[in-house]
Structure 1
Amino acid sequence: MKTSLFSEFDPVSAKAYKQKIQFDLKGADYNDTLVWQSLEGIHVRPFYHKDEVKKTANITLPKHWFIGEKIFINQAVQSAETANNAIVNGVEAVYFQANKPFDIAALFTTLSDASVPLYFDLSFLDAQFYKELYRYSDKYELVVKLDIINHLALDGNWFTNLNKDHKDFKEVIQEAAPSFTIDTTLYQNAGATMVQQLAYGMAQLAEYLNFCEQENLKLEEVVVEVSVGTNYFFEIAKLRALRELAQTVLSAFSYQDTAIKIVAHPSRRNKTIYDYNTNMLRTTTECMSAVLGGADWVVNMPYDALYHKTNDFGQRISRNQLIVLKEESYFDAVQNPSDGSYYVEELTHQLAEKALTLFKDIERNGGLLKQLKDGTVQRKIKESATREQQLFDEGVITLLGTNKHPNQDDKMKDNLELYPFVKINPRKTIIEPIIMRRLAETVEKERLKTE
């Protein structure tokens, strides 16, 4: 006989919960004691109840997520062999990076598994090279990153110039693949709030969709790259809000049937070179948020990526973190595990609402390209980053082993294979570039001086 569990208990309203909490506080103010405000201006309450849920996110999350691994292409054959080895050891999607053209035929000839999706993040724009890569799309599922605005924001200059870059952008979409990329990782790693990350990402999307409409370009897929921090539930909500906002913007441009894919990376902003093993804890929670938020790909970051060249041990650990999440923690068993969480739903709603308000303001004031040229975006991100840096310096934001419980016996000067700080390269640019900077950089520089 089927019975309802706990049917003898009457339901409790949100009002009754709050009255009980107020009674237990014995005169202390509820808002001052238990409600805190995030950097996004969201007031976080001690409990959430179905009576207060204003709206639930109308999104469809992917049925599966892929374990990704980043591999830099120096020599095509060697990089392909590295990918083959990673696939044998559990990688399900390969994220290739390259800063110069490589032997495409040699790469694909050496790759052994055509069922594994491939992503190419190229730091150069060459329409013919992009089209040559896509000629292998009948055998491989692949995406070539196409985001000229991200390059402008990061570098301060177009690849060539505005007209040439847009011409190549159009040529690749028209002749090779009806898709492009929105890379929002720069904003997060530079210190932007989640609302800013979402709004600037959507403004970037709108710039491309305006161009695609003007040029009558067909569009089948948009790939969004995101950087995920350690504010666990907020990051889950950020990815859900991102998918909802992207679908809204696409529909406004009559591209409502365009697929949305999310490629998630752990943030670099909170990573450290001292007590570096804590980076594994940070990336684990960030990857968890990415999965629960609905990422299609999760590309983990090795714990020693800041200061070590790519090595087998670091890659294996980062890969195994994702394998444990999928194979032992069953993070692939449910398609939408955060669905029905009143807290996550409310965060999703507020992040989406605030980001949409900022996005509309950007559009009213000429769009993202104009605000990048005016320096408005750079100024706003700097203000957010400065506020976050101040909280870190005051110990409100903590990084274990860096500004809390540092191990003074930890020495790193002789272990630095890579320069882990911002590199200044003075040159002429048409806009002020957005600079990625880690919270711990100043503290780490001071410690290195005293070793």
Structure 2
Amino acid sequence: MDTYLFEEFEGVSAKAWKQKIQADLKGLDYNDTLLWHSIEGLTVRPFYTKEDQTNQQIPLSEDNFNICQSVFVDNEDVANKLAVNSLQRGANAIEFVANKTFDFKKLLENIDSVNTPIYFKLNFLDVEFTKQLSNFTQSEKSYFNIDIIGNLAKTGNWFSNLNEDHEKLAQISSLNNCIAVNASLYQNAGANCTQQLAYALAHANEYLNHFGSSIASKIYFNFSVGSNYFFEIAKLRAFRILWEALLKEYGLFEIQANIFTQPSLRNKTLYDYNVNMLRTTSECMSAILGGTNTIANISYDELFHKSNEFGERISRNQLLVIKEESGFENAQNFADGSYYIETLTEQFAEKALDIFKQIEQGGGFLKQLKEGIIQRKISEAAQKEQELFDTGELVLLGTNKIQNPNDKMKNDLELFPFVKKRSEKTLIQPIIAKRLAEQLEQERLENE
């Protein structure tokens, strides 16, 4: 076909569009009326044109995204039954979460551990157990969520101490996919998008600096995504650009970021909890269009109910509907060519790179974590977001807007849904995940 639809029409420049908009505003100021400034410092315009296209080549996976089901390991037989059931009902990946060692032969019975991506989130550090587990699975699709820096950031303490933790990780480093960078913590604590990107990059760079560039292929990333739909798409795409750029500085090429994603907990609510399903659906779509490798949805009642079959089935089916009925299968490249998303991606990457350089000039991520600089920056960003929520500018439907006065939750809480006070001593100030609606919800519970 030599000609294209609408080719006979003359193109309209961005300048002409702006002039037309300015005329239609009838005296109102264009900048004050139509430009929006995000908490990241980005200025969002009302329209974008081909002039904004960056044609940035983003190293996205050629494989379709994995639908993952998270299973907590308390009893191996029960956890195995839940995992097998999930795989039979549409999941094609499993995340096992454990606080202590377990019988992995029982846990993985009737599971094809060679061909099924399995993520082991181990909230402990045990060299011998991890090696035995890896030898048993014998799979390049086994991932071990071991993050000694992330544990320090989250708890305020090392598993043992700095030297011993690094020595144990060095012994584990021969395994495939043995290091995770848990950037989810930063998002759930209130860090904005550019901070999340910069901290994830600087966090990973600590491992590269300590263990050498050969460890790069063994690192994978955990991100959480919020409900700012286009921002979250751009965030994940920007991180792939940043990771590729960092590895080039180490002389490494063709190592793509492997990204595991979950919806954020920060914007989830107790009241009108069914709205959580709408939020997670939007967030999962952002993650898929952003190019995530694996996504594990969370249940609408994750905050206040113990793990249950109904909630897990609904969360899994949300992903199945998105993938098989909404046209999101092989959707990694769908955002290519979007002027708005490409512009956001470039801006996120540039701003995050500036923050990353400041961290490195200040002695690195670990040093700034020990000095409390990272915690302070996240706290400042979280407070800005909290103020937007408290004033009603940032809306969580059913919580700070259009409340249902008949909605009662006091007798439905199986889990404590708020930040827990800790009494143990810590080496550094931990980064605490906190939801936006916590204070408002506590007040409503008291008044029920």
Q: Report the TM-score range of the alignment, normalised by the length of the smaller protein.
A: over 0.9
Shifted more, 2-11 versus 52-61: the winner is 52-61
Stretches of structure 2 lacking an aligned partner (at least 5 in a row): none
Match of 1:297 in 2: 294
State the aligned residue count. Answer: 448
Match of 1:133 in 2: 133
Distance in 2, matches of 1:397 and 1:148, equals 34
Paired residues of 2:208 and 2:216 also in contact (CA < 8 A): no
| 1:242-270 per-position Cα deviation (integer Å, ceiling 9, x unaligned) | 11111111221233343421001000000
Match of 1:88 in 2: 88
Shift of 1:6: 1.3
Name the aligned partner's letter for residue 97 of structure 1.
Answer: V
Paired residues of 2:53 and 2:338 also in contact (CA < 8 A): no
Match of 1:228 in 2: 225
Q: Is 2:411 aligned against 1:410?
A: no
Change (3 A) 1:441 1:337: same
Paired residues of 1:156 and 1:433 also in contact (CA < 8 A): yes
Change (3 A) 1:334 1:446: closer
Paired residues of 1:226 and 1:265 also in contact (CA < 8 A): yes
Paired residues of 1:55 and 1:349 also in contact (CA < 8 A): no
Shift of 1:10: 0.8
Shift of 1:218: 4.9
| Paired residue secondary structure (1:220) | helix
Paired residues of 1:179 and 1:220 also in contact (CA < 8 A): no
Distance in 2, matches of 1:257 and 1:221, equals 14
Match of 1:146 in 2: 146
Name the aligned partner's letter for residue 298 of structure 2.
Answer: M
Give TM-score, length-normalised by structure 1. Answer: 0.96
Paired residues of 2:208 and 2:215 also in contact (CA < 8 A): no
Task: Provide the aligned C-alpha RMSD in A.
Answer: 1.5
Match of 2:269 in 1: 272
| Paired residue secondary structure (1:124) | coil
Stretches of structure 1 lacking an aligned partner (at least 5 in a row): none
Distance in 1, matches of 2:67 and 2:50, equals 34
Paired residues of 2:182 and 2:221 also in contact (CA < 8 A): yes
Match of 1:181 in 2: 180
Distance in 2, matches of 1:113 and 1:211, equals 31
**Counterparts in 2 of 1:122-271, with a 5 A limit?**
122-139=122-139, 141-174=141-174, 176-177=175-176, 179-213=178-212, 217-271=214-268
Change (3 A) 1:271 1:193: same
| Paired residue secondary structure (2:440) | helix
Shifted more, 256-265 versus 310-319: the winner is 256-265
Name the aligned partner's letter for residue 187 of structure 1.
Answer: Y
Match of 1:395 in 2: 392
Distance in 2, matches of 1:96 and 1:396, equals 38
Q: Identity of paired residues, percent?
A: 51
Change (3 A) 1:235 1:35: same
Shift of 1:54: 5.0
Shifted more, 325-334 versus 285-294: the winner is 325-334
Match of 2:33 in 1: 33
Distance in 2, matches of 1:280 and 1:226, equals 19
Name the aligned partner's letter for residue 180 of structure 2.
Answer: T
| 1:57-92 per-position Cα deviation (integer Å, ceiling 9, x unaligned) | 533344310111110011112211110001110001
Q: Is 2:419 aligned against 1:422?
A: yes
Distance in 2, matches of 1:198 and 1:332, equals 26
| 1:133-162 per-position Cα deviation (integer Å, ceiling 9, x unaligned) | 111342572101121100000000000000
Shift of 1:113: 6.5
